[in-house]
């Protein structure tokens, strides 16, 4: 488990239309991927993403619905503007923009989330661990004291 | 006992002390000076008439400190060990040293004494450096202190130009100055002259006698609203103050520690209750608490004034609130308003 | 600057005596050296204490959110202050018709740190004039060229003139070169990733969490700041690296599309911490992505509040985000 | 200069365990916890210093600490009772505790009621809402056969917003049958099954009009109740030095060190929480 990159996966609970994809995410997600289900990508506050980054996440995946498909009509529009800028801001202070991937899912996408996560994991493995801003890693996982 | 130390031998002396003590001295840190561990390459910062920007209380009462460790298996909190360390703090100004003795009245007296404070105080020597020329924002002579006061110091240096005159003040610091040549009576008189000149160079900024009673009497008057009109409600005046000791206890869950952080009465959440009632809802009550605590309540707790006139709150307030002017206005208000009717 | 002071006093006296405003927000004489104080004038007699010079370092728009919305406020506004007021009006913090903005084309705010670095902290009095700041310290009087003392934000100022004031005292000044702010951000972006992280940590970890930057910023008017939340506690409240990093990242990010780069946060910070390199980056991104600059008028919503369906083109299907 | 370098860490909580936990109010906003000591030595140390009216800082790691009044008398057994209103993160965590769960407790803190000064006096105990918990401890203490003779008449007036919010229902029910005390309960709004007083506590106090002769009154309740009950007692002829109340403010250390719970120069946690009205009148209005 420890050599695999730690990934924080923010999943909008509406975006996986196929029940088997949702079932895979809910119960057969690889151990190194930490699932955070949110009612909508619009609910994802930059604080959540920063909390994940400071907690030692080597990569962050944010999956939501395509425009005009959002259950709440415009949650994804707000999220994209804010979180894309936050990603560029984190990159500005050293957390590589490549470590954040947005997955905007369509109605008929099937099994895409598994492919995206696998592809993302290999991309992150190439980048290696992201220690620079990992300041809140729990002690039980070998986090540093202050 | 009084010794003489030529200035060019200072670094060598500090190095000698470093064999036995961890020596800290004010050194350049960007635009200001800070107490940093002394090393052979240290470039000491003693000319500045003013003290370090960050108060040396942090050397005894750190701003963030884990005081309890959570044992997950037992589900209980256990104390973190407070280990004394032999230290010498060189170049501390008299106002900051006196401030440390004021904090002793909180952390080192009465019941529930603080083990962390005591551990850091027990083996630490304070070697003071007097101020030949107090700055425009200093007012130690108005607060029962002074540019060459010795409260809390183990030794006091007076800058005579080419050398320092060292006045030994405590037995435990005697060893530090063994081998130094003792001061001639001429040098002692010179030091005395320098000290009195410095004392006189700093006129009183406000009248201390009767100030406490005046502040008590204007407690519920409108003067506090006028005084705190432009206050931003930030924490600079309290965090940089060498005598402020308020703290917060907070659990850092993922670090399994309970942490003690500095806190400040200038923040809204400091006195905000679970019922959402806040006895100090606006900056007026908070400014009043800051001034009353130092110039009235501390007197009732420990018979001492809670301010040593170091001037940090005056120098770094972003909106230029000057505690000297505030105290003058409060006592003027008391004599005009209350005696007028 | 005394000539400008006289103009401001007469205008303020007119506003108060004719009852056009309930309060005039400006500055008054300093008690502490180099620090004129923000002041709230409600009667004409006090106006003799009114001062205006380069050392007036606070953004007065910060006090707008302290008054109930029906208060009629007269306020001195320089370029950045006017834009901060506009941004606050956009966020419905005060109604524009209850505001009377006394516009002052700004010749730059002096950074007290640059003065102290030259004259030492032992300052008795100072005199500001068009080109020189005369400072009388204990042993020496200094005549310092004003241009070298300006705060870094003012050296990069694009809009020194008040854009939507009710009256403008003095001539409008030439606009600044927008490339200056961009170059500053781009030069930081050109550093390697580890250099950028190192610089960010070096600045953020000197923070003592006094929140002067928050309290000095006109756009920081939240009743309860995210650092005060405890259910759950998102950030550490101590001066640990985790706490200070989170504070500086999220505080700056909350100013995206709202910060008018007035530099009041850096001028208030007691530990000389650099912060505007963060908000300038966000400001540059908002211009590049949405052609939006904060406070240019008091109607247009900032980008995070004005998402539209034609953002569609940015939603890449299957692949990296543009 | 301080000399003894390492006294005990005053912020280290005593290890406790939940013995019993049950809801006091029908709307589950009030819950009573009865805590047992992990170490017997701690229990002895606690009861040597304990005096009704004192409080403790209950500690749940990861959430923090909350100051809560002790609601049990020493003779009731080797446990400490607290009745907790569910308000913020710590009290929610306390509500979620089940019997057997560990937690921390620092105490007893504060001065508690000056029982020695009240010897031979009639006691008028006036409580409102969940603040009645410390008065419940006081009443239980006074009711004990060993202590009862020390005091004269005992009158208890306990108000709550509704019958569902009344605490210690069964025990208080039994008080009506006792001959050595008088009980008056009140709720704000009439309910069918309620046959005691109806109305606000200050009015009920005026109605019952306890005699101030050789009497001491103790008032603990929400600020609004205290604000109107104190003057009511003064108008009934109680001198200020015979009226006592327990104050509360935001607290962190509970031992007079962290500087935040002061009224004037007095710390509520150390010099209080029990103050006489005479003492309060000498303090500035900072509550």
Rounded to 5 degrees, φ, ψ at D23 are -75, 140
For residues A15-20, give the mean pLDDT: 90
Interface test with A, best of C236, C301, C321 (most A CBs within 10 A): C321
Please report which confidence band the pLDDT of residue C231 belongs to, taking 50, 70 and 90 as the band edges: confident
Please report which confidence band the pLDDT of residue C176 belongs to, taking 50, 70 and 90 as the band edges: very high
Structure tokens at A64: 């939501």
Structure tokens at B293: 């605590």
Rounded to 5 degrees, φ, ψ at B4 are -125, 135
A109 against C82, higher pLDDT: C82
- For residue D93, give the nearest of D69, D117, D68 by alpha carbon: D68
Domain region containing C254: 2-111+150-305
pLDDT in tens, chain B (341 residues): 899 999 999 999 999 999 999 999 999 988 889 999 999 999 999 986 578 999 999 999 999 999 999 998 888 999 999 899 999 999 999 999 999 999 999 999 989 999 999 999 999 999 999 999 998 999 999 999 999 999 999 999 999 999 999 999 999 999 999 999 999 999 999 999 999 999 999 999 999 999 999 999 999 999 999 999 999 999 999 999 999 999 999 999 888 999 999 999 999 999 999 989 999 999 999 999 999 999 999 999 999 999 999 999 999 999 999 999 999 999 999 888 767 65
Task: Indicate whether C256 and C290 sit together in one domain.
Answer: yes
- C-alpha A133/C-alpha A96 separation (Å) is 11
Task: Indicate whether C143 and C164 sit together in one domain.
Answer: no
Beta strands in chain D (DSSP E): 14-23, 30-37, 55-60, 64-69, 79-85, 102-109, 122-128, 154-160, 182-187, 197-198, 215-220, 243-246, 262-263, 266-267, 274-276
Per-residue pLDDT tens for D105-143? 999 999 999 999 999 999 999 999 999 999 999 999 999
Are the Cβ atoms of A136 and B254 closer than 8 angstroms?
yes
- C-alpha C15/C-alpha B268 separation (Å) is 34
Quick check: C322 pLDDT over 50?
no
Which residues 131-190 on chain C approach chain B with CB closer than 8 angstroms? Answer: 138
Q: Domain tally for chain C?
A: 2
C231 interaction partners in chain D (CB closer than 8 Å): 88-89, 92
Tell whether D252 lies on the interface with C, counting CB pairs under 8 A.
no
Q: Which pLDDT score, from 0 to 100, does residue C311 have? A: 85
Are the Cβ atoms of B232 and C215 closer than 8 angstroms?
yes
Q: Which pLDDT score, from 0 to 100, does residue A146 have? A: 46
Task: Indicate whether C239 and C174 sit together in one domain.
Answer: yes
* Sign of the C-alpha dihedral computed for residues B266, B269, B271 and B272 taken in this order: positive
Q: Is residue C316 part of a domain?
A: no
All residue ranges of chain D with pLDDT < 50 are none
Are the Cβ atoms of A139 and B66 closer than 8 angstroms?
no
Any idea what the Cα angle at residue C81 is, between residues C79 and C84, rounded to 5°? 115
Contact: chain D with chain A (3+ CB pairs below 8 Å): no
Task: Indicate whether C222 and C118 sit together in one domain.
Answer: no
Q: Which domains does chain D have, with CATH numbers?
A: 14-109 (2.40.30.10), 115-246 (3.40.50.80)
Prediction pTM value: 0.95
Strand partners of residue D57: D67, D106
Q: For B235, name the nearest residue in chain C, comparing CA atoms only.
A: C210
- For residue C302, give the nearest of C160, C89, C123, C22 by alpha carbon: C89
* Sign of the C-alpha dihedral computed for residues C41, C42, C45 and C46 taken in this order: negative
Quick check: C319 pLDDT over 50?
no
Task: Indicate whether C101 and C236 sit together in one domain.
Answer: yes
Q: Is residue C195 part of a domain?
A: yes
Task: Indicate whether C106 and C128 sit together in one domain.
Answer: no
Angle between helix B323-333 and B283-292 (nearest 10): 90
Task: Indicate whether C18 and C128 sit together in one domain.
Answer: no
Are the Cβ atoms of C281 and A89 closer than 8 angstroms?
yes
Which residues 132-161 on chain B approach chain C with CB closer than 8 angstroms? Answer: 133, 135-137
Tell whether B249 lies on the interface with C, counting CB pairs under 8 A.
no
- C-alpha C141/C-alpha C118 separation (Å) is 11
Please report which confidence band the pLDDT of residue C318 belongs to, taking 50, 70 and 90 as the band edges: very low
- ipTM of this complex prediction, to 2 decimal places: 0.94
- C-alpha B100/C-alpha C310 separation (Å) is 63
Out of C116, C239, C270, closest to residue B236 by CB:
C270
* Interchain CB contacts (distance < 8 Å): B and C: 125
Q: Which domains does chain A have, with CATH numbers?
A: 7-130 (3.40.50)
- For residue C79, give the nearest of C158, C187, C184, C190 by alpha carbon: C158
Per-residue pLDDT tens for C115-172? 999 998 889 999 999 899 999 998 899 999 999 999 999 999 999 999 999 999 999 9
Are the Cβ atoms of B273 and D256 closer than 8 angstroms?
no
Quick check: C1 pLDDT over 70?
no
Are the Cβ atoms of D61 and B220 closer than 8 angstroms?
no
Task: Indicate whether C124 and C28 sit together in one domain.
Answer: no
Distance from CA of A18 to the nearest CA of B (A): 36
* Contact between C94 and C64 (Cβ < 8 Å): yes
Neighbour subunits, C (≥3 Cβ pairs < 8 A): A, B, D
Tell whether C253 lies on the interface with A, counting CB pairs under 8 A.
yes
Are the Cβ atoms of B254 and A146 closer than 8 angstroms?
no
Q: Is residue C260 part of a domain?
A: yes
C238 interaction partners in chain A (CB closer than 8 Å): 146
Residues above pLDDT 70, as percent of chain C: 98
Are the Cβ atoms of B136 and C121 closer than 8 angstroms?
yes
Are the Cβ atoms of A145 and B66 closer than 8 angstroms?
yes
Q: Which pLDDT score, from 0 to 100, does residue C265 have? A: 97
Q: Which pLDDT score, from 0 to 100, does residue D132 have? A: 96
C211 interaction partners in chain B (CB closer than 8 Å): 234-235, 267
Interface test with C, best of A60, A94, A129, A146 (most C CBs within 10 A): A94
Tell whether B262 lies on the interface with D, counting CB pairs under 8 A.
no
Angle between helix C179-189 and C193-204 (nearest 10): 110
Per-residue pLDDT tens for B18-27? 999 999 999 9
Rounded to 5 degrees, φ, ψ at C315 are -85, 90
> Residue-wise over B81-119: b if at least 16 C-beta within 10 A, else e?
ebeeeebbbbbbbbbbbbbbbbbbbbbbeeebbbbbbbb
Q: Is B19 left (phi over 0), alpha (psi -120 to 50) or beta?
A: alpha
Task: Indicate whether C184 and C264 sit together in one domain.
Answer: yes
Task: Indicate whether C101 and C125 sit together in one domain.
Answer: no
* Contact between C58 and C80 (Cβ < 8 Å): no
Task: Indicate whether C117 and C244 sit together in one domain.
Answer: no
Distance from CA of C270 to the nearest CA of A (A): 23
Task: Indicate whether C125 and C71 sit together in one domain.
Answer: no
Tell whether D285 lies on the interface with B, counting CB pairs under 8 A.
yes
Tell whether A89 lies on the interface with C, counting CB pairs under 8 A.
yes
Per-residue pLDDT tens for C4-39? 999 999 999 999 999 999 999 999 999 998 999 999
List, as one string, the DSSP characters of C169-198.
-S---PPP-THHHHHHHHHHHTS-HHHHHH
């Amino acid at each position: 488990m420890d050599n695999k990159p730690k990934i924080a996966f923010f999943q909008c609970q509406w975006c996986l239309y196929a029940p088997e994809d949702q079932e895979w995410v809910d119960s057969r997600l690889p151990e190194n991927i930490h699932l955070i289900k949110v009612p909508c990508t619009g609910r994802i506050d930059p604080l959540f993403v920063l909390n994940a980054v400071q907690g030692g996440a080597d990569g962050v995946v944010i999956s939501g619905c395509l425009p005009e498909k959002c259950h709440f009509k415009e949650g994804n529009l707000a999220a994209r503007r804010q979180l894309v800028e936050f990603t560029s801001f984190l990159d500005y202070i050293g957390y590589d923009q490549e470590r954040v991937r947005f997955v905007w899912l369509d109605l008929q996408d099937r099994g895409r989330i598994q492919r995206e996560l696998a592809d993302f994991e290999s991309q992150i493995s190439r980048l290696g661990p992201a220690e620079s801003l990992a300041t809140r890693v729990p002690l039980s996982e070998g986090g540093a004291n202050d | 006992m009084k010794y003489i130390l030529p200035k060019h031998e200072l670094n060598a002396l500090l190095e000698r002390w470093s064999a036995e003590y961890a020596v800290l001295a004010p050194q350049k840190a960007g635009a200001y000076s800070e107490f940093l561990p002394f090393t052979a390459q240290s470039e000491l910062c003693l000319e500045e008439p003013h003290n370090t920007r960050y108060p040396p209380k942090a050397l005894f009462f750190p701003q963030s400190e884990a005081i309890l460790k959570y044992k997950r298996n037992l589900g209980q909190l256990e104390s973190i060990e407070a280990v004394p360390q032999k230290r010498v703090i060189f170049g501390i100004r008299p106002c900051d040293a006196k401030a440390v003795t004021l904090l002793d009245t909180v952390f080192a007296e009465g019941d529930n004494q603080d083990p962390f404070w005591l551990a850091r105080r027990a083996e630490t020597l304070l070697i003071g450096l007097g101020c030949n020329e107090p700055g425009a924002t200093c007012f130690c002579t108005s607060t029962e202190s002074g540019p060459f006061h010795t409260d809390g110091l183990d030794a006091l240096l007076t800058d005579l130009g080419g050398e320092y005159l060292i006045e030994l003040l405590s037995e435990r610091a005697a060893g530090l100055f063994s081998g130094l040549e003792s001061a001639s009576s001429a040098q002692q008189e010179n030091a005395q002259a320098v000290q009195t000149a410095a004392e006189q160079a700093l006129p009183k900024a406000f009248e201390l006698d009767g100030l406490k009673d005046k502040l008590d009497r204007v407690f519920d008057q409108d003067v506090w609203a006028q005084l705190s009109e432009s206050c931003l409600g930030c924490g600079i005046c309290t965090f940089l103050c060498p005598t402020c000791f308020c703290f917060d206890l907070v659990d850092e869950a993922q670090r399994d520690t309970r942490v003690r952080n500095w806190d400040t009465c200038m923040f809204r959440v400091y006195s905000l209750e679970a019922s959402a009632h806040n006895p100090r809802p606006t900056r007026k009550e908070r400014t009043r608490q800051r001034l009353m605590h130092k110039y009235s309540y501390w007197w009732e707790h420990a018979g001492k004034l809670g301010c040593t006139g170091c001037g940090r709150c005056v120098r770094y307030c972003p909106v230029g609130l000057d505690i000297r002017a505030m105290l003058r206005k409060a006592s003027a208000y008391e004599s005009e308003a209350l005696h007028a009717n | 600057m005394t000539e400008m002071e006289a103009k401001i006093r007469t205008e303020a006296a007119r506003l108060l005596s004719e009852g056009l405003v309930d309060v005039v927000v400006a500055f008054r004489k300093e008690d502490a050296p180099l620090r004129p104080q923000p002041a709230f004038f409600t009667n004409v007699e006090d106006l003799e204490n009114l001062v205006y010079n380069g050392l007036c370092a606070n953004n007065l728009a910060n006090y707008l959110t302290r008054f109930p919305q029906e208060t009629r406020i007269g306020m001195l506004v320089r370029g950045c202050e006017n834009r901060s007021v506009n941004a606050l009006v956009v966020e419905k913090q005060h109604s524009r018709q209850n505001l009377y903005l006394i516009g002052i084309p700004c010749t730059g705010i002096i950074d007290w740190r640059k003065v102290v670095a030259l004259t030492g902290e032992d300052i008795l009095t100072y005199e500001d004039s068009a080109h020189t700041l005369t400072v009388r310290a204990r042993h020496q009087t200094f005549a310092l060229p004003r241009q070298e003392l300006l705060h870094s934000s003012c050296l990069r100022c694009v809009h020194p003139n008040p854009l939507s004031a009710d009256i403008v005292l003095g001539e409008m000044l030439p606009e600044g070169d927008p490339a200056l702010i961009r170059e500053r951000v781009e030069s930081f972006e050109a550093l390697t990733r580890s250099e950028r992280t190192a610089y960010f940590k070096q600045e953020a970890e000197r923070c003592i969490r006094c929140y002067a930057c928050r309290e000095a910023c006109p756009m920081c008017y939240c009743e309860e700041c995210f650092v005060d939340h405890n259910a759950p506690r998102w950030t550490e409240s101590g001066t640990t690296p985790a706490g200070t990093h989170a504070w500086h990242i999220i505080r700056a990010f909350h100013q995206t599309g709202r910060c008018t780069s007035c530099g009041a946060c850096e001028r208030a910070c007691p530990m000389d911490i650099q912060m505007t390199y963060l908000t300038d980056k966000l400001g540059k991104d908002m211009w590049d992505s949405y052609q939006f600059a904060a406070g240019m008028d008091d109607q247009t919503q900032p980008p995070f509040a004005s998402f539209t369906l034609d953002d569609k083109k940015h939603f890449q299907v299957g692949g990296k985000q543009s | 200069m301080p000399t003894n370098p390492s006294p005990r860490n005053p912020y280290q909580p005593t290890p406790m365990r939940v013995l019993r936990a049950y809801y006091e109010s029908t709307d589950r906003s009030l819950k009573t916890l009865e805590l047992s000591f992990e170490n017997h030595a701690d229990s002895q140390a606690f009861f040597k210093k304990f005096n009704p009216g004192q409080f403790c800082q209950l500690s749940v790691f990861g959430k923090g600490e909350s100051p809560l009044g002790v609601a049990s008398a020493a003779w009731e057994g080797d446990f400490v009772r607290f009745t907790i209103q569910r308000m913020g993160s710590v009290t929610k965590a306390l509500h979620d505790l089940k019997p057997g769960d560990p937690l921390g407790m620092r105490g007893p803190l504060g001065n508690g009621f000056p029982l020695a000064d009240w010897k031979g006096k009639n006691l008028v105990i006036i409580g409102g809402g969940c603040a009645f918990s410390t008065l419940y401890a006081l009443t239980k203490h006074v009711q004990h056969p060993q202590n009862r003779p020390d005091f004269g008449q005992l009158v208890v007036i306990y108000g709550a917003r509704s019958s569902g919010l009344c605490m210690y229902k069964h025990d208080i029910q039994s008080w009506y049958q006792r001959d050595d005390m008088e009980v008056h309960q009140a709720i704000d709004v009439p309910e069918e099954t309620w046959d005691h007083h109806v109305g606000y506590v200050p009015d009920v106090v005026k109605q019952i009009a306890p005699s101030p002769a050789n009497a001491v009154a103790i008032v603990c309740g929400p600020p609004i109740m205290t604000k109107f009950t104190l003057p009511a007692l003064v108008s009934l002829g109680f001198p200020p030095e015979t009226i006592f109340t327990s104050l509360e403010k935001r607290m962190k250390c509970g031992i007079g060190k962290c500087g935040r719970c002061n009224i004037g120069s007095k710390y509520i946690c150390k010099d209080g929480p029990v103050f006489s009205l005479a003492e309060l009148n000498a303090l500035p209005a900072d509550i």
